[in-house]
Amino acid sequence: MKITTRTTSMLIRTCVIFAVVTAILFPPLSHAQGGAPKYEVDLSWPKPMPDRWVLGGLGGVCVDRQDHVFILNRQDVLDVDLNAGHMAPFIIEIDPAGNVVKSWGDPKLLETRLHSCHFDKDNNIWIASAPSGMVQKYSHDGSKLLLQIGKKGVFDSSDGTVKGKPLNSSAAQFFMPSSIFVDRQNGDVYVSDGEGTGGNRRIAVTDRDGKFLRQWQPEGMETVHCMTVANDGLVYVCNRQQSRIQVYDKMGNFKKNIEVPWKPYTTPPDGKRTETGGSAVALDFSPDSNQRLIYVINQNNSQIEIIDRQSGKILSSFGRAGHFPGEFDQPHGIAVDSKGNIYVAENRGKKIQKFKIVDQ
């Protein structure tokens, strides 16, 4: 059949009209409309670290008001690793371009098993270490220890040691603090005290000066591995072993569960799932005022889950097990900057990675 120019023109117009109508009636699900942005690893970040630094496991990561990224280096390296370089400091500050701008950390003050960090509204940094018995507040540059709640090496246990029976005392003393959040309105300090099995299992709250106010023990938790507070005042607590996030108000009243399911990609011989760290290990929110999205480390599947905060629906995921860029070996800490970039710190992998939005 001979196709004339007029026929071709009509076909083109018909296709264009069809495409326009389809776009109107069935628009793609954008980030703003309820979808999730897509991410890719930023290979240019961070830049090579100075003085041939050797990193140990990274316990945590947090972001300050200038979008500078702070990583917590546990310094647990093999002796032979130092044949090729020098031990990296405990606290390392990296700017948005990937350059190290400052590092610090006094082992006489810090506990080396660093677990998480948090910036308050005044841009001071709070650090939790487990086991340590304490949480600490430092000036932004680390030059001053501004406040310590609890005493280093003295645990909330029957004999004051890590081997004693955990007490979950109504006191500003901790066992294995895992996360900290400081209320922007009144300065109250929320601490999840329960990093390891066999320790405390609670959320403790003190005032800005470290005076004990209240506590609650989240139901059904073997550990209380992470916690943060949303802008609307809801407290999000990781139930690492039971594959969910438990949500409370600031007084500890339960509101809802958000399930974070996982499955083994290789079927175990006995057919039973075996935990490799949990599917709700650390979390942070998107930077919009409503904090629409939750970003959660699913350590069992070595990936980041992107969850709609209101519905609890998993919208997408990224990452996989491995040591190449974009892959994870025991991801342990997560933080989001003001532009929506995601930073993931790996304990066993001993590296920090940045993931940037490539599709809105």
Smallest Cα–Cα separation from 204: which of 232, 167, 242? 167
**Residue 147 backbone phi and psi in degrees, to 5:** -160, 140
pLDDT in tens, 207-265: 999 999 999 999 999 999 999 999 999 999 999 999 999 999 999 999 999 999 999 99
Say whether pLDDT at 280 is over 80. yes
Task: Say if residues 305 and 260 touch (Cβ distance below 8 Å).
Answer: yes
Task: Say if residues 100 and 90 touch (Cβ distance below 8 Å).
Answer: no
Q: What is the pLDDT of residue 286?
A: 98
**Sign of the four-CA dihedral 98, 100, 102, 107:** positive
Three-state DSSP class for 82?
Answer: helix
Q: Which pairing describes strands 38-41 and 352-359: parallel, antiparallel, or unpaired?
A: antiparallel
Q: What is the pLDDT of residue 158?
A: 97
Q: What is the pLDDT of residue 16?
A: 40
pLDDT in tens, 284-326: 999 999 999 999 999 999 999 999 999 999 999 999 999 999 9
Task: Say if residues 304 and 319 touch (Cβ distance below 8 Å).
Answer: yes
pLDDT in tens, 88-137: 999 999 999 999 999 999 999 999 999 999 999 999 999 999 989 999 99
What residues does each domain of the chain span? 32-359
- Provide CATH code, domain 32-359: 2.120.10.30
